[in-house]
Amino acid sequence: MASGERITKRFSRGRDLWGGLSATLVALPSAIAFGVAIYSPLGPTYGPQGAVAGILGTIALGIVAASLGGAKRLITAPCAPAAAVLSALALDLTGKGIRPDAAILILTLVGLGCGAVQLMLGAIGAGRLIKYMPYP
């Protein structure tokens, strides 16, 4: 590899690092809000835990996105529909009398399970199916 190629590759990694950091900072306020919205149905004392969960999740996403690189149109950010579904699940769990600590574990397992399904779909190449979606 020529010297110029190494410098270009090193510079590209630096851009990925700064891009991941800036995306993390931009996503942080919405992640905190979504975390509070998801954890609030568990009780008034769980709102701050939701805020911390949002902060930790955003930091983890920023590290993963920066270290793996990505596509030009890849967005790594909190998702409002997912927060709405998880909030509804938290409400349902508390309505059924499940303890808040058990509900947090269930919410975590649901999130990890969704991530595992996304990784599996990526591994089998399900992204190729996008070509069958109509262009608006």
Nearest Cα to Cα of residue 89 among 67, 113, 71 = 113
Number of domains observed in the structure of the chain: 1
**What confidence tens digit (pLDDT) does each residue in 62-116 have?**
777 777 766 666 667 788 999 999 999 999 999 999 999 999 999 999 999 998 9
Structure tokens at 68: 């793996």
The pLDDT score that the predictor gives to residue 21 is 77
CB atoms near residue 103 (< 10 Å): 22
Domain containing residue 111: 3-132
CA distances from 8 to 4, 29, 74 (A): 6, 33, 22
Mean pLDDT score across all residues of the chain: 84
The pLDDT score that the predictor gives to residue 11 is 46
Confirm if 70 and 77 have CB atoms less than 8 A apart. Answer: no
